[in-house]
Amino acid sequence: MKIKSAYFIGIKGVAMTALAVVLKERGVKVSGSDVTDIFQTDEVLEKNKIEVLKGFSTENVPKKTDLVVVTGAHGGMTNIEAKTAESYGFPVFMHGKALGMFMNEKDGISVAGSHGKTTTSAMTAFILSKAKLDPSFAVGSAEIIGLGAGGHNGRGKIFVAEADEYVTCPKTDSTPRFYFQKPKIFVITNIDFDHPDVYPDVEAVKMIFVRYIENLSAESIIIAGIDNPSVQSVVKNLDRNVITYGFSPQADFRIYKVSSSNGTTFFNVIGRGIDLGEFMIRVPGKHNALNALASGIAANNVGVGWEMIKYNLKKFSGTKRRFEKIADIDGISLYDDYAHHPTEIQTTLKGIREWFPEKKIYLLFQPHTYTRTKALFSDFAKSFSAVDTAIITDIYPSARETPDLSVDPKKLVLEINKFKNNSIHLKGKETITEFLKENVKKGDIILTMGAGDICNWHSDIIQSLKKW
């Protein structure tokens, strides 16, 4: 399919922006549209000189284009622009299908899992890039520190992509997005019950992984996080080349020691009976040691040696919105993280506490979607014990859902406080910044967390603390 121009409907989402940058670097004329809200990708799109039209209307759709790519976030194929593009006879692809089409031109490394796929795919892209393999990649982050945008069209033969298990289009197509990817290497970090709006339980999520792997090439390599029981059951009887990793004694690649010191996580690995020595990463937590090991195994299976992998992992400083340091304000450190599922929250906060055992940590958590908050309510309540104060904001709804007023953040606070009496509900950015101004002291940590727009609050937080 020869493509000289492409139009993206809902271009500001991190996955859409990453693919838009890939096409822009291929020499394609790229433009798109989206809502006027501030997004973390705004700077990336501007830097890459990609025009973004405001809002959605029939007038936005170009009269001539070779491809239209649609996000599922704003109605998907029912979006007025998607309908208009179809009426013009243009090829209109949902994002998952479009990504798969370009990825499958190369040797793919797909990174899937309920948690950790962004960091693991970013680490993999980073290792391969620093090893001079110049991979293409499409990662669900606005920026990979040290590489630039989350999307890149490389000259090498490898394409690294995040593989999302969410459905292609909630309104019209229940195909999991990663089904369009046909990789040589498939990484599964873990499998958890997420996206209760489209999957009834974890068994349904496991089944989409089983069916997907059954349709991969017999020569494909499956890299599986064996500590996760759901991953264990998925790969247990596979007639495939499966490489397992984790802390488990049964893992092919086993982490046997982890420690943290001065902003660095250290871990040691035995791989198939060989001691690979000590690894260092500049991101916190045992979960990131696992992510690093998964990325290392993937890189090793495309020819990168373990010493090079260890050397490059030492340089990896993370991605935007994954324990990203935003600012230091008069001795107060402000961080940001995308975690929005109870498992992610617990593991992230535990890792941060390991890095800062003596510091007071103020968490600003913005629950993301009414459906997730309702379905995982009791799990959320158990997730905040690692911090000193957990400030729960109002719920940030998905563009795909109708607000459910029976799901009340005040009720969540009451439930959290049954496990550790450290939580309060504060409504609105102004109220929260005033609370921080009155309570936070020099040496404390502030962490914003969630998949909504809380990442846009940082300038207000910084300004309020500077007024002392």
- Phi, then psi, of 104 in degrees rounded to 5: -70, -5
Task: Give CA–CA dist 207/211, Å, rounded.
Answer: 6
The kind and range of the H/E element at 137 are: strand 136-144
Are 140 and 18 a contacting pair, CB within 8 Å?
yes
Q: Where are the alpha helices (DSSP H) in 161-269?
A: 202-214, 229-235
Q: Name the residue with tokens 């990979």.
A: 144
Q: Write the CA distances from 129 to 15, 48, 146, 376, integer angstroms.
A: 20, 20, 10, 38
* Residues of the binding site: 113-119
Alpha-carbon distances, residue 393 vs 38, 324, 352, 419 (angstroms): 19, 20, 21, 19
Amino acid letter at 236? K
Residue numbers in the known binding site for ATP are 113-119
Contacts of 315 (CB under 8 A, 6+ apart): 126, 130, 146
**Nearest one of 190, 154, 191 to 302, comparing CA atoms:** 154
**Buried b / exposed e along 44-66 (16+ C-beta atoms within 10 A):** bbeebebebbeebeeebbeeebe
